[in-house]
Structure 1
């Protein structure tokens, strides 16, 4: 997991008015780290997925994702929002993990990331650590391979 997320892909206390703004800000963070070939193509895929089925999974967590050729290198960006935003008809999100993978990595890599995140999100201790962390370094440590494996 450590090659997927860097210090520059973590946003703490992010202010956003809605899920589209969260997705856009996280996508720009991934782009700024050289992980995207085309920001607009990636955003289009992520938004298309959200329209089909919102990616909120409970526990105030959402895991939007895009699988497309606009991704140069697999990436995971994380935002802890200052205030919850409405993510789906009946769920809000405060913790958002944005996954980007290329088409050629879509199968195994995408599913592996989702599985590892999902297992940890089910753990109350993991969610509490995300909430209580005071620095990007702490979040990076929580999301490191050793913590997620």
Structure 2
């Protein structure tokens, strides 16, 4: 994990109740915004980017989404994470015409342009393990989620 990227209990939501992708994105944005990590314009841009470049990944039993946008909408680098009570559909990164039911969402707010690919790569690599996905999905609180991510990134 990059040492200057904030991963904080205040940026974690376990078992979020949401029915639509926008609800999930708004909830994570609210956490990031409240902590001063992102600008007001971050939400609008993340929604727009998700329309043009979807971030859902079909991985098997549990699927993920990794929404993110450009650094100019970020004040300080952070990751906001949620596990969903019930899966929410996101369009697929690899097949945008298809949707995938997502269980875990990690929203990237990265200040440095060159961090995006590096962090995205590490997150995707971490999620290749079905054990990590299972652990995150079953985590009961923010502390557990942070421990799982820190020990696997």
Q: Look up the match of 1:100.
A: 109
Give how far 1:122 is off.
Answer: 0.6
Q: Is 2:18 the partner of 1:9?
A: no
Q: Residue 140 of structure 2 aligns with which residue?
A: 134
- Conservation of the 8 A alpha-carbon contact between 1:19 and 1:87: yes
Task: Please give the root-mean-square deviation of Cα atoms over the aligned residues, in Å.
Answer: 1.4
List runs of 5+ in structure 2 lacking aligned partners.
92-97
DSSP 3-state at the match of 2:69: strand
Q: Secondary structure, in 3 states, of the residue corresponding to 1:72? A: coil
Runs of 4+ in 1 over 3 A off after TM superposition: none
Could you tell me whether the CA contact under 8 Å between 1:61 and 1:94 is conserved in 2?
A: yes
Normalising by structure 2, report the TM-score. Answer: 0.87
| Distance in 2, Cα, partners of 1:101 & 1:14 | 23
Task: Say yes or no: does 1:47 pair with 2:26.
Answer: no
CA contact (8 A) 1:45 1:68 kept: no
1:84 aligns with 2:84: no
Q: Provide the secondary structure at the position in 2 that maps to 1:87.
A: strand
Match of 2:57 in 1: 57
Counting matched residue pairs gives 142
Counterpart-to-counterpart distance in 2, 1:136 and 1:43: 23
What CA deviation, in whole Å up to 9, does each residue of 1:52-111 have, x standing for no partner?
121001131000101132210011100001111111233111100000123xx11x2111
TM-score, normalisation: structure 1: 0.89
Give the one of 119, 124, 131 matched to 1:118: 124
